[in-house]
Amino acid sequence: MTETSSPASPPAASPSPDVTPFEHIAGDRSKGLLLLCDHASNALPARYGSLGLPDSEFRRHIAYDIGVRDLTLKLAQAFDAPALMTTYSRLLIDPNRGEDDPTLVMRLSDGAVVPGNAAHDAAERAHRLATYHRPYHDAITAEIDAAIADGHPPAILSIHSYTAVWRGVPRPWHAGVLWDRDPRFAVPLLEGLKEDPGLVVGDNEPYDGALKNDCMYRHGTVRGLAHALLEVRQDLIADPAGVAAWAERLVPVLARILASGEALNEIRHYGSRCD
């Protein structure tokens, strides 16, 4: 685990010799907010080299969510909120997928064959789960347990980004909010973002928020914690100016939601559309 308050942004590419499973940003649990960043890094442990891919692939969305680490850090600082972020590329193993998900370790990602994953077997899959995937989720569980023990069940916000064009089709949304059945965080976040007439905001676009055993299902839905997954278009947060602009936009919206009432920080079960 890495404990830090203001770490530097990840390099644009290249494997890292010492990749630990997650970063933990300490914060005030009484604020009632926990920030997660599942795809924060494009780094790989040295034993995996580059998984047989050219460096250019690690600059793409297939390796990580561009801009999200810096945005998560800015929000954590603004609210003095705890945050947990991965320190390895989603090409190694995807922490936003359940352990039985067929896309957990991608052999082909947006047209790129991943040679280092093509022949991975059950033993290698088990190693990646035990060494990288589970420690991140165990850390989230521990943070939630500690917050609940302190009397502050947290609302969870997971920060992601997506490509502006997918399979040749431009995506019209500037951002999207993904959610399942629990409306406490997602609906006011949608409403707050839509107050800006210059934004096109997707409601469960460009993806659907109901995914069995993904990060939000596991830590939000199952545990009865208010949660939302925010997707920001990558070209809008690809540089420091874009990150700063989106942090400035999000802070007042999130502050209003957090101040809206106790229901956001109560344990309530709404079920799931994917059950």
- What number of other Cβ atoms are within 10 A of residue 167's Cβ? 7
Indicate if the pLDDT at residue 20 is higher than 60. yes
Could you tell me which of 150, 156, 20, 7 has the C-alpha nearest to residue 77?
Answer: 7
What CATH number has the domain spanning 2-265? 3.40.630.40
- Round to whole Å and give the CA distance between 62 and 215: 18
Residue 7, pLDDT > 80, answer: no
Q: Per residue in 183-219, pLDDT tens?
A: 999 999 999 999 999 999 999 999 999 999 999 999 9
Q: Is the C-alpha dihedral spanning 21, 26, 27, 32 positive or negative?
A: positive
Q: Is the pLDDT of residue 165 over 80?
A: yes
The pLDDT of residue 108 is 76
Residue 220 near residue 164, CB atoms below 8 Å: no
Kindly report, residue by residue over 230-271, the tens digit of the pLDDT: 999 999 999 999 999 999 999 999 999 999 977 999 999 999
Q: How confident is the model at residue 106 (pLDDT cuts 50, 70, 90)?
A: confident
Q: Which residue has the tokens 């007042």?
A: 252
pLDDT for 5 equals 33
Distance between the two ends of the chain, CA-based, in angstroms? Answer: 33
The pair of structure tokens assigned to 259 is 């101040």
Q: What is the pLDDT of residues 108-124, one digit of tens each?
A: 777 677 888 988 899 99
pLDDT tens-digit readout, 216-238: 999 999 999 999 999 999 999 99
As given in the structure block, the two tokens for residue 128 are 């990646």
* pLDDT at 242 (0 to 100): 98
The domain spans of the chain are 2-265
